[in-house]
Amino acid sequence: MTLSKCFKLSMTLLFVLMFCAACQNKEKEDVREYISLHEVKSLSEKGASLSWDDFDKYPFEDIGSGLYIRKYKIEGERQLLVRGKSLDNPPEQISIIESNGTEREFTPEIVSEMEDMK
C-alpha cells in the first residue's frame, strides 16, 4: 500500500470516528432544573442527619462568599438555601425561600404546608 493510500484511509477513518462521536446522545437522564416537592419532603424527613451529599444529585447555584451557600430551585418557584462553613461537616442551616421572598425554616411541617398549597 502506498503512502498516499494509507493517508487517505487514515483520514477516512478519522472522519468516520468524528461523525460517530458527534451522533452520540449526550443528554443526561432525568435532569431537571428543580427539586420536586416529593423529594423535598423526603429530604426534610432526614432532619439533622442531612449532609451535603444528600444534595449532590441536584443542580445548584453557589452564592456563598466565605461560606458555602447553595441555592436550589424547588418545584413551585421556591428555593432551598443550604448553608455551612465546611463541606466536611453537615450543613449548619437549611431554609426555604418562598416566591414572595419570605424565608422559612426547613422542617417536615413547612414542607407539608407547601404540598397542601400546591
| DSSP string across 60-77 | -EE--SSSEEEEEEETTT
Give the single-character DSSP code of 36.
-
How far apart are alpha carbons 70 and 58 in whole angstroms? Answer: 11
pLDDT at 113: 81
Asked if the model's pLDDT at residue 29 lies above 60, the reply is no
Helix (H, G, I), strand (E, B) or coil at 17: helix
Helix boundaries (H) for 1-118: 3-23, 37-46, 108-116
Q: What's the pLDDT tens digit per position in 31-85? A: 578 899 999 999 999 988 999 999 999 999 999 888 999 999 998 889 999 999 9
Q: Cα–Cα distance between 1 and 35 in angstroms, integer?
A: 60
Question: With contact defined as beta carbons under 8 Å apart, do 80 and 94 qualify?
Answer: yes
